[in-house]
Amino acid sequence: MDNRPIGVFDSGLGGLTSVRELARLLPGEDLLYFGDTARTPYGSRSRDTIIRYGREDVELLLARGVKAILCACNTVSSTLPADYTAGLPVPFVGVVDASAAAAVRATKNGRIGVIATAATVKSGSYTRALDALDGSLAVTAKACPLFVPVIENGYVGREEPIVTALAREYLAPLKEAGVDTLILGCTHYPLIAEAIADEMGPGVTLIDSGAQGALALRGALEGAGLLRARRSGGEVQFYVSDSGENFAEVGSLFLGKDLAGAVHPFTLAAP
């Protein structure tokens, strides 16, 4: 039994998809979430900058005594060096490998799509992960750079004109490729999953990378004997690197509970 909290981080509020799933899977665990809202989005940054931001996020959580870390940011999961994450003093789980495995299980026609930030697509991490699992797959990846800032500004409704217009433009090549499985390769994207599903049409399975990361973390905790004994009563602490007002507003809609007064600013580093 280990009573320390689980750490989760993302560039903004997208990692709340992982928090929501962790709270469902492990209701007795305490969670500590950090959203780097002062420097979001990460997806348009250089590789060196992403690595620096990711390491700072990890060190912040370690300083608060977490027992494991879920990187709920596809961009960081795709970029942080494996030798760094392997050398951490606590289990570290990213979202890429877990999501790729779920997509391989779900596809029926072998055509898988990936939508993500520009940095994640450029890294080729999903293509490599999918190819390692099944070399016969046809993978189509598309960068969607405007989704994150739109979501961070609270536009998440399935009928928001800006959301539907972006979905129509970004998803066109995925539809043309005939994918039957689409990885939401950024944990922000499930916030607009309804609009994405509407545009893709019936018969396309959406893979929520945040939820898949949470499942993988549960497995890592079980394997390391770090699960807490209690079955309910876990608490969540929310920290951000900028004002928490917008985070609380959008996060409340997504988590289905009022976050007003529950989001705490934390000074990390200059953007």
Which residues are marked as active site?
73, 186
**CA–CA separation, 182 and 171 (whole Å):** 10
Q: Name every residue whose Cβ is closer than 8 Å to that of residue 94 and which is 6 or more positions away in sequence.
A: 71, 76, 77, 78, 80, 85, 213
Distance CA 130, CA 136 (A): 9
**Helix runs in 134-192, H state only:** 147-152, 161-176
Of 13, 75, 80, 78, nearest to 43 by C-alpha is 75
Question: Strand, helix or coil at 228?
Answer: coil
Q: Which of 22, 18, 32 is nearest to 66 (CA)?
A: 32
For 139-154, b/e burial (b = at least 16 CB within 10 A) is bbbbbbbebbebbbee
Residue with tokens 């992960």: 129
CB 183 within 8 A of CB 103: yes
